[in-house]
Amino acid sequence: MSQPLRAGILGTGSYLPEKIVTNKDMEKLVETSDEWIVTRTGIKERHFAAADEFTSDMSTKAAQRALDAAGLKPTDLDLIIVATITPDMQTPSTACFVQTKLGAPQAAAFDISAACSGFVYGLSLARAFVESGFYKRILLIGAEKLTSFIDWKDRGTCVLFGDGAGAVIIGPSVNGEHEILSSYMSANGSEADLLKIPGGGCRFPSSLETIENRLHSLKMDGKQIFKIAVKVMSEAVLEAAKRANITLDQVSLVIPHQANDRIIQAIGERLELPKERVFVNVDRIANTSAASVAIALDEAVKAGKIQKGQYVAFVAFGAGTTLASSIVKW
């Protein structure tokens, strides 16, 4: 009898723009201090994309690296999914630009919008496509150029974000390697007001008024988001472990969305995990929304922090609000 198809991560890649912006640099833009940013968030620096470097460009670079790691060519792909809230344009999708830039004309392409949870949402989606037999090789990208959607006069948000992209290739797992064991997704639309970019949609179409009222940049109730994030992200890790039929003790590394080091540490404390079992790069990368977990995964792989046979947990929470988690056996 043939075994059911199981999806796995065949390769990872990431890309960070060249320009590094330190907290000292941010001090020149708004009334803030390195001390405030580090103590409240753990962030020391972030990468900013160049003016002519778009989400699709960063996506394509991360994608090529993931393809190389998987030993595949762009023409091997069946589908390209880009998780982003900062697309090149309202339409067409950023995935369509990536398809052309990468040279994968045979692949279907679309974007998903689940904010900071976008990449982990996408993992569930790609897994379902592969395990149903519908598609064999899927390029999943998390990418953001958040600097295009930041209110540079709002010190409460502008110091928190950076640009970048991370990518994985999802396909049938060979010999159970890098297999996605569980997926969990949820959303709470009643919390939609906590984090949003209100302008530019049909509710507030672009106008002089929306520009004057700064509706095209990100608005956040940081305190509320912080409280909810710690609770629901901890619960989601446990839910993913339960769905994978493993205990938290068996998880070697948790890779959480990198929004704030205090959130990450609080999750670690709630779950009683030692520091070395929770991945952190928010100090160097800041919050890159949908790209965050994808970049962190690639860095963890490259740094040898994930060994064959180990269980890894992904967890993310963001605007919507959305929440997602997953367990992968490396």
Which range of residues in 34-42, 58-66, 118-126, 137-145 is near ligand UT7 by CB under 6 A?
Answer: 34-42
d(C-alpha 148, C-alpha 167), whole Å: 21
Distance of closest approach, residue 294 Cβ to ligand UT7, in angstroms: 14
Out of 60, 64, 260, 326, the residue judged to bind ligand UT7 by CB under 6 A: 260
> Considering only residues 66, 80, 143, 159, which one is a binding residue for ligand UT7 as defined by CB under 6 A?
159
Distance separating alpha carbons of residues 23 and 30, to the nearest angstrom: 10
Report the C-alpha gap between 246 and 128 in whole angstroms. Answer: 21
Q: What is the Cα 273 distance to its own chain's centre?
A: 22
Catalytic site includes residue 287: yes
Whole-number Å distance between alpha carbons of 267 and 45 = 22
- Where on the phi/psi map is residue 316: left (φ > 0), alpha (ψ -120 to 50), or beta? beta
Cα–Cα distance list, 302 to 110, 189, 283 (Å): 28, 36, 18
Site membership for ligand UT7, residue 23 (CB under 6 A): no
241 binds ligand UT7, rule: CB under 6 A: no
Among 32, 250, 252, 265, binds ligand UT7 (CB under 6 A): 32
Question: Taking CB under 6 A as the rule, does residue 16 contact ligand UT7?
Answer: no
Answer for which of 16, 263, 271, 297 binds ligand UT7 (CB under 6 A) is: 263
Report the nearest approach of ligand UT7 to the CB of residue 228 (Å): 9
Sheet harboring 251-256: ordered strands across?
Answer: 108-112, 79-83, 138-145, 163-172, 7-15, 179-187, 322-329, 311-318, 251-256
Q: Is 259 in the site for ligand UT7 (CB under 6 A)?
A: yes
Which one of the listed residues 116, 178, 260, 281 is annotated catalytic?
A: 116
Contact (Cβ atoms closer than 8 angstroms) between residue 84 and residue 55: yes
Q: Which is nearer to ligand UT7, 260 or 281 (CB)?
A: 260
**Which are the catalytic amino acids?**
116, 257, 287
Residues at the site binding ligand UT7, with contacts judged by CB under 6 A: 32, 36-37, 40-41, 116, 155-156, 159-160, 222-223, 225-226, 229, 259-260, 263, 287, 289, 318
